[in-house]
A = this chain, B = another copy of it.
Amino acid sequence: MSEKFVYDFEEGSADMKFVLGGKGANLAEMTNLGVPVPPGFIVSIKACNDYYKDGQNKISEEIEKEYLGHLKKLEEKMGKTLGDEKDPLLVSVRSGAAISMPGMMDTVLNLGLNDKSVLGLTEKTSNERFAYDAYRRFIQMFGNVVMNIEGSEFEELLSEEKKARGAEQDTDLTADDLKELVEKYKALVKEKKGMDFPQDPLAQLKMGIEAVFGSWNNDRANLYRKLNHVPKEINGTAVNVQSMVYGNKGETSGTGVCFSRNPSTGENKFYGEYLMNAQGEDVVAGVRTPKEIETLENQNKEAYDELVSIKNNLEKHYKDMQDMEFTIEEGKLYMLQTRNGKRTAAAAVRIASEMVEEGLLDEKGALLKVDANQLDQLLHKQLDPEAKKQATVLAKGLPASPGGAVGKCCFDAKEAHDRAENGEKVILIRVETSPEDLIGMNAAQGILTARGGMTSHAAVVARGMGKCCVAGCHEVSIDEKAKTMTVSGKTFGENDFVTLDGATGEVIEGEVGVTDPELSGSFATIMEWADKYRKLLVKTNADTPHDSEVAIKFGAEGIGLCRTEHMFFEESRIKAVREMIVAKDLEGRKAALDKIEPFQQKDFEELFKIMGDRPVIIRLLDPPLHEFLPKEEEDIKGVASEIGVSADELKGIIASLHEFNPMLGFRGCRLGVKYPEINAMQARAIFKAAQSVPGCKPWIEVPLAGHVREYKMIKDIILQTAKELDVGDKVDYKIGSMIEVPRAAMTADEFAADCDFMSFGTNDLTQMGCGFSRDDAGSFLDQYVDKGIYDRDPFQSIDQQGIGKLMQYAVDLAKKANPDIHIGICGEHGGDPASVEFCHKIGLHEVSCSPFRVPIARLAAAHAAIKDDK
């Protein structure tokens, strides 16, 4: 049997989304569940891959034959023929990839209309105006999407026509007006493309399918995939060919978008919007402000009840909050889409915990419904309620995406991006947003739109980004050209601050303070479950009492990385540090180190007290010494006189410490190999502090060792110090090594034999392993992600195929050499969910991340453990 490329809805199911795309798979699932879905078929993702095969960009004859067969069946089912001049079958042609990419790819409606079938539609609907409106919409959409004519060219003709006829709304145009407009549209196509608008319905269909396939690769879609880290394996879109139903056949028709629960708060309450006498795009585009879904009950109780019953069934069936699209055609309800709905983190947490209460999900299932990355939204600051009381609320829009945002007004997406790059905080303010605005939305602190509803582009995208958004704020008058916004009689320019409250929809004058988030309720429940199932310990990177306290609040089980150099930089000790560096001999260095020691000891005492019996991994001094010395002429003079050397001498020392590649230079344990007294002082400070804080657990960590002999040399210094201080077993300490030099990973067995613990420093391991300097990679790394060389920035998420492979190799070696070895990861990857899951998979014991990402890591660790169990 030859490969199958096209499927009727009846032939598919929800689990076929990698063949049928998400939309198609769910249409098939609904069809088989008996939900009213307009019939249709799906040209699969395999066909899309075939289209792109060998760069040919062509639908094969075989596939064309196959979908024509399915069309034939559809025509028979519907009793209509595509483009028939009596009673034409009309279809929509929509994209649908394996993952949802809302608004990113192309759609064509009303396909099958031409000069003849428009007559058939007129006759069949007895509504000439409707038929010609459908035809002009089709030409406009097909002309734009398939034939690449600027949408504005059509809009202009429409505006002219309206002006000429004195029409306010599109709906004020008569059938004759629309007939004339159709002719103008056709003339525009001829003028622009040098060809007649295609009249053959099969040609239209083929061109439509090709356009959808082609849209997989448009710039918007590529940017979306990049921003959302869509893996390369998700490749291609299916095309859903579905018989048309119409929500714009008068006041008994309508169309809407709804969620089985509130996607913003998570409340278990039917939620949505609709418009009567409208096409689906009208709701999403936010051109008219739609009505709340409950009011549909008054409009058409039968359809409303059926819709409620369907949403209940679908939610039960999918065990997840559903995001649905429907159309009512002359009183009859049709479902056009269902999918698991996007939601805010707050909603995700609430829905997941409530679904467990309702018996819909078990705890593990609930945990998997919460995206760990998204949790970030809950962990960042919110507007300070007290500060807000004093503030001037300018206007109120829709609370489209929660959180607080403060920034200067910005009226252009590109500018928002540029200003944010320069470190400015901006609020992107637009009449409404479109996919072209994505770059600016991503860069802005928050988004404010004057038009559109809770399901408008701005709202949907902002929620996905976890970005504060106030949408449809009609009181605001925006002049995008003049770059001003007028509200409450005041005008705001590019340098004026505004504050948004995404939870209430309020737009506030000036800058409002922010406060910490609330971490109780559903959030606490979810975290409790996460802790129940995860296997990885989650610790934090912290080197101040404040960070340590925050981390404990977020559930950190210890400090996984305490960088001691930060303590060296403090005002009170930097002088002694500099004296140590310029010292001419061991005596001089020791004298300076003696001054630093009491400070270090106090630092550690404070941390130990806060952390109690939680382990504290203390990394010995790591950075190159020149980092402690001044760089500017003026500073050099000042520092020189302070520490009692001549400026020239100090300059000489600075010059002698200069390195071509400091990243690969004299730092880490190399400092201790050359100047053992530095590490001895640190060990002394740690042990003395530990002796004065009973029950504490210092784990001393050697940085940047590449050869086990380096590590052993430093370990000997530590052990010698312990002996001198008669530490014995009075302190419960461990000694271990960072694994951040590729050579250390390759010889992890040798390290493990001599280490109590090891911790992957994946920042440096990535720098050395991939040969990228993080400070310099900016000039090319973006291009590397853009061009798909790395799926994600390897500094943000572990490069699992490369650096991850090296880690796996090291872990296997280490465990074989020392089954008791404790292995962790510190560095920024420890807070990246994908990286955390990877760490679980390769058998680490702990991850460590910044305090604010601790809950994310806890949840990601639970996800990993649950997936592992399956």
Contacts and interface: CB of A to CB of B under 8 A. Distances in A.
Interface in A661-709: 661-666, 670, 673-674, 704, 706-707, 709
Interface string A104-138: 00000000000000000000000000000000000
Q: How many copies does the complex hold?
A: 2
A776 B658 CA distance: 9
Contacts of A218: none
Given A673-B780, A673-B784, A803 B743 contact: yes
Given A741-B770, A743-B769, A787 B661 contact: no
A665 B98 CA distance: 37
Given A659-B776, A674-B780, A767 B664 contact: yes
Contact of A661 (B670, B776, B783): B776
Contacts of A710: 784, 789
B787 A770 contact: no
Interface in A690-741: 704, 706-707, 709-710, 713, 740-741
Contacts of A664: 661, 663-664, 767-768, 771-773, 776-777
Contacts of A773: 659-661, 663-665
A746 interface: yes
Interface string A749-785: 0000000000000001001111111011101100110
A746 B768 contact: no
A747 interface: yes
Contacts of A659: 773, 775-776
A676 B510 CA distance: 48
Interface string A783-815: 110011110000000010111011001000000
Contacts of A290: none
A827 interface: no
A740 B742 CA distance: 13
Interface in A340-369: none
A746 B709 CA distance: 24
Interface residues of A, number: 49
Interface string A149-178: 000000000000000000000000000000
Contacts of A709: 788-790
A496 B768 CA distance: 48
A713 B673 CA distance: 43
A661 B662 CA distance: 7
A746 B802 CA distance: 6
Nearest to A790: B707
Given A673-B784, A707-B790, A788-B709, A743 B799 contact: yes
Contacts of A704: 771
Contact of A706 (B663, B707, B770, B809): B770
B743 A770 contact: yes
A660 to B, nearest CB: 4
A804 to B, nearest CB: 9
Contact of A769 (B663, B666, B742, B764): B742
Given A673-B789, A769-B768, A775 B743 contact: no
A537 to B, nearest CB: 27
A710 B767 CA distance: 17
A454 to B, nearest CB: 41
Contacts of A743: 769-771, 799, 802-803, 806
Given A707-B789, A788-B709, A776 B665 contact: yes
Given A742-B806, A743-B799, A802-B707, A660 B775 contact: yes
Interface string A638-663: 00000000000000000000011111
A780 to B, nearest CB: 5
A746 B769 contact: yes
A772 to B, nearest CB: 6
A764 to B, nearest CB: 8
A802 B663 CA distance: 20
Given A746-B806, A775-B660, A802-B746, A787 B706 contact: no
Q: Chain B CB within 10 Å — which of A662, A769, A771, A789 has the most?
A: A771
A770 B664 CA distance: 9
Contacts of A788: 709
Contact of A768 (B665, B673, B742, B790): B742
A780 B670 contact: yes
Contacts of A769: 706, 741-743, 746, 768
Nearest to A804: B746
A747 B805 contact: yes
A664 B772 CA distance: 5
Nearest to A740: B771
Nearest to A771: B741
Nearest to A772: B664
A809 to B, nearest CB: 8
A737 to B, nearest CB: 13
A835 B229 CA distance: 43
A636 to B, nearest CB: 20
A850 B77 CA distance: 79
Contacts of A740: 771
Nearest to A668: B771
Contacts of A803: 743
Contacts of A665: 773, 776-777, 779
A810 B770 CA distance: 15
A408 to B, nearest CB: 28
Nearest to A808: B746
A713 B770 contact: no
A704 B743 CA distance: 18
A663 B662 CA distance: 10
A165 to B, nearest CB: 49
A793 to B, nearest CB: 13
A789 B713 contact: yes
Nearest to A789: B709
Contact of A663 (B660, B790, B806): B660
A788 B773 CA distance: 29
B787 A673 contact: yes
A775 B661 contact: yes
Contact of A666 (B674, B768, B776): B776
Interface string A306-335: 000000000000000000000000000000
A675 B770 CA distance: 20
Interface of A: 659-666, 670, 673-674, 704, 706-707, 709-710, 713, 740-743, 746-747, 764, 767-773, 775-777, 779-780, 783-784, 787-790, 799, 801-803, 805-806, 809
21 contacts: A659-B773, A660-B776, A661-B663, A661-B775, A661-B776, A664-B768, A665-B773, A673-B783, A706-B771, A710-B784, A713-B789, A740-B771, A741-B769, A743-B771, A743-B806, A746-B769, A746-B802, A746-B805, A746-B809, A768-B771, A809-B809
The 3 closest A-B pairs by CB, nearest first: A661-B773, A664-B773, A660-B775
Given A664-B664, A743-B770, A743-B802, 5 more contacts: A659-B775, A660-B776, A665-B777, A709-B789, A747-B802
